[in-house]
Amino acid sequence: MTEQLFSELEEKMKKTIESVKKQFISIRTGRANASILDRIEIDYYGSQTAIKQVANVTTPDARTILIAPYERNMMGAIEKAIQKSDLGITPNNDGHAIRLSMPALTQERRKQLVKVLKKEAEEGKVAIRNERRTIVDKIKKQEKDAILGEDDSKKAQEKAQKFTDKYIVEIDKLAELKEKEILDV
């Protein structure tokens, strides 16, 4: 029964890692990367929709993102959504497409991005720890209900801690790589 708990735990922790990776990708590094728009949604006929679903998003060069809406009437909504976002980029609308010119990052902005990165990493670690706490509570309940012995309970809790340590180290490695990417000029 505990093996099923651990397979569920590992699956949830892997999903948390994927979520953290997505958050890290959306933090811009000075190079044009269409994935920075993933978090931005617009009102598309009454429902919140990702920009990539209503427009063709390309990166023609290292410093430019080109957004060509499938419907011209969406230009204003896309432009407003980008302006309201925390990207810090002013969109240029030429009537056919929206261009985002990625400015070179200042050292101050890089430090701000590193703070955002560390906050996202910490949120990921908290999610991992919450998963551990949930499984440890289930293990303790099984011990209390005499499904597990005291020794088996201790071993299972130690195993849960090893899973937790493994995935926290993975988040730390991802954060370290992203921080290096942000700070490299």
Question: In which band, very low, low, confident or very high, does the pLDDT at 1 lie, cut at 50, 70 and 90?
Answer: low
Determine the pLDDT at residue 173. 96
Mind listing the pLDDT tens digit for each residue in 123-139? 999 999 999 999 999 99
Domain 34-101 has CATH 3.30.530.20: no
Name the residue ranges covered by the structural domains of the chain.
2-25+106-183, 34-101
CA-to-CA dists, residue 49 to 37, 42, 78, 129, angstroms: 12, 5, 10, 32
Residue 116 has pLDDT above 80, yes or no: yes
Entry pTM: 0.70
Q: What CATH number is given for 2-25+106-183 in this structure?
A: 1.10.132.20
Give me the half-sphere count of Cα atoms (radius 13 Å) on the Cβ side of residue 99: 11
